[in-house]
């Protein structure tokens, strides 16, 4: 399960935004999935868990709509027409005003009632009266190339800074080739008046350059809209629309990309966008320091034999001496149930502020490695449990082909593996949250809930792995009714812990 926040597509998908973007084959939606990943562990799990009596409130519930290119254009056009009509300006100028105010039409209309001229000046589409009079000139000399040209060959924005058409053309062409859409401004020094698209387009030569400019404009219009986000999926032209912008999980209906609406990066609840950005930057900077803890092996705390972790569960059993212990803290598993709070909580040194800078630096590194090791461990567990999920799917297929039940009969095993990944994914992102959280009662409550979730996840992981390795039982490999009931009950408990933590600590 990758956590690279910088690998998402950005405006490099320039060919996606155009009138022909929807004519691509629908078959592309069903591209082959990575065999080491679970397709979408949010689908088909919630209803299964709620049937077991789980809390119906889901803190991750979020309403959004996936829009095609044409649908997005329609949404934008409605706002443009309304603002242009009210402000009595051209649609091109109305777009610049909307971009400046993040397409908040109600704010624009309210500001317009107070002072229409101030609104247009603030949006940088109209100069102040004094500046316009001050720079007015009847000279037929271009302000850039200083050539004397005919009056009709000079062009100017409302600021009255006049330049020859050739200089305007070169100015716009260079900026569009550099990827600029909205943001092309007057060439005069210290003048930031924006150039509307109906001023720029006639200055661009060739349909290819004009189409590129239109794509950049569309990209900038969407990215500036407080209710819209471009899908970051590779070569995907879809746009996500919401009513209330929040750091919530959204998924593209076309390419299946899952991301946070606010930052367009990998979904990261309960950690907020700014914190996860800091955390991943720190992990990248300190990757060499943390390399030694990325090994997959540890020594058994009883017989000292080297053990490799080949499953997602942290409940380990030594193959030689059969000792049960925790992979993270190496504590005895028999008493570990009551020690999860200690296992997942970092113990701060209260006297560290009075010690030397070297000691403080060592303590800071120790704290980071504590959280990084747990973050990395759950990331690797997700990868290993994705393999378990694949094995479960293969076994279900085999049993169905051998007339040992239907897909519906075995659906609970697949849902258990999905829910396990869903819970562990949330747990992984609790560690950056805890790392940057200030000490105090609220952090203690968070760490307690984190530990509770971790304990139930490991119990669920253990049961899923046992179900996966179950060779023969009641009814040719079928789990007994008690085993199945125990697994489904554990699913309910784990999801309840996850929802409780998100309800109390997810950014609202």
What positions carry a catalytic annotation? 313
User: H helices of 242-302, where?
Assistant: 273-285
Measure CA of the first residue to CA of the last residue in the chain; give whole Å: 26
Question: Distances from the Cα of 90 to the Cαs of 11, 50, 210, 218, in angstroms?
Answer: 27, 53, 20, 18
Distance CA 436, CA 422 (A): 23
Contact assessment for residue 252 and residue 234, using Cβ atoms and an 8 Å cutoff: no
Q: Which residue has the tokens 């189409």?
A: 211
Distance CA 506, CA 508 (A): 6
C-alpha angle 12-93-209 in degrees, rounded to nearest 5:
35
On the question of a cis peptide bond just before residue 270, with omega within 30 degrees of 0, the verdict is yes
- The encoded tokens of residue 493 equal 């408990």
C-alpha angle 382-387-392 in degrees, rounded to nearest 5:
120
Contact assessment for residue 495 and residue 460, using Cβ atoms and an 8 Å cutoff: no
Distance CA 97, CA 107 (A): 11
Contact assessment for residue 448 and residue 432, using Cβ atoms and an 8 Å cutoff: no
Radius of gyration of the chain (CA): 29
38-62 b/e (C-beta count within 10 Å ≥ 16 → b): beebbeebbebbeeeebeeeebbee
- The encoded tokens of residue 172 equal 């716009």
Q: What size, in residues, is the chain? A: 508
Strand partners, 181: 183
Distance CA 119, CA 139 (A): 30
């Amino acid at each position: 399960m990758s956590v690279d926040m910088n690998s998402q597509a950005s405006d490099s998908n320039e060919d996606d935004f155009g009138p022909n973007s929807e004519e691509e084959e629908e078959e592309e939606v069903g591209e082959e999935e990575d065999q080491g990943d679970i397709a979408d562990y949010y689908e088909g799990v919630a209803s299964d868990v709620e049937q077991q009596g789980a809390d119906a409130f889901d803190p991750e519930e979020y309403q959004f709509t996936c829009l095609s290119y044409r649908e997005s254009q329609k949404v934008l056009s409605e706002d443009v027409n309304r603002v242009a009509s009210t402000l009595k300006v051209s649609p091109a100028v109305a777009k610049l005003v909307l971009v400046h105010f993040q397409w908040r039409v109600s704010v624009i209309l309210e500001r317009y009632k107070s002072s229409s001229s101030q609104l247009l000046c603030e949006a940088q589409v109209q100069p102040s009266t004094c500046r316009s009079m001050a720079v007015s000139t009847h000279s037929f000399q271009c302000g850039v190339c200083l050539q004397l040209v005919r009056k009709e060959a000079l062009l100017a924005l409302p600021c009255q800074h006049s330049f020859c058409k050739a200089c305007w053309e070169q100015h716009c062409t260079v900026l569009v080739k550099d990827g600029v859409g909205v943001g092309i401004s007057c060439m005069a020094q210290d003048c930031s008046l924006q150039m509307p698209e109906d001023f720029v387009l006639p200055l661009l030569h060739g349909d290819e350059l004009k189409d590129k400019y239109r794509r950049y404009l569309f990209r900038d219009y969407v990215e500036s809209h407080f209710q819209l986000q471009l899908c970051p999926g590779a070569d995907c032209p879809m746009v996500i629309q919401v009513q209330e912008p929040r750091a919530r999980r959204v998924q593209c209906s076309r390419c299946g990309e899952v991301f946070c609406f606010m930052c367009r990066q990998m979904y990261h609840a309960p950690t907020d966008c700014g914190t996860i950005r800091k955390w991943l930057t720190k992990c990248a900077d300190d990757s060499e320091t943390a390399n030694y803890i990325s090994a997959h092996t540890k020594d058994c705390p009883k017989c000292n034999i080297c053990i490799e972790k080949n499953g997602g569960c942290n409940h380990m059993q030594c193959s030689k001496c059969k000792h049960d212990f925790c992979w993270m803290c190496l504590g005895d598993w028999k008493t570990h149930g009551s020690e999860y709070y200690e296992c997942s909580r970092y113990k701060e040194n209260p006297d560290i502020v009075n010690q030397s800078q070297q000691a403080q630096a060592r303590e800071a590194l120790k704290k980071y490695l504590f959280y990084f090791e747990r973050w990395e461990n759950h990331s690797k567990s997700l990868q290993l449990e994705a393999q378990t999920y694949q094995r479960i799917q293969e076994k279900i297929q085999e049993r169905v082909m051998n007339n040992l039940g239907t897909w519906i009969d075995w659906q609970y095993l697949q849902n258990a593996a999905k829910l396990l990944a869903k819970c562990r994914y949330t747990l992984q992102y609790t560690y950056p949250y805890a790392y940057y959280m200030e000490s105090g009662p609220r952090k203690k409550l968070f760490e307690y809930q984190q530990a509770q979730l971790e304990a139930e996840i490991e119990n669920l992981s253990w049961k899923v792995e046992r179900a996966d390795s179950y060779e023969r039982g009641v009814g040719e490999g079928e789990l007994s009714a008690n085993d199945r009931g125990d697994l489904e009950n554990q699913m309910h408990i784990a999801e309840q812990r996850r929802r409780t933590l998100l309800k109390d600590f997810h950014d609202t």
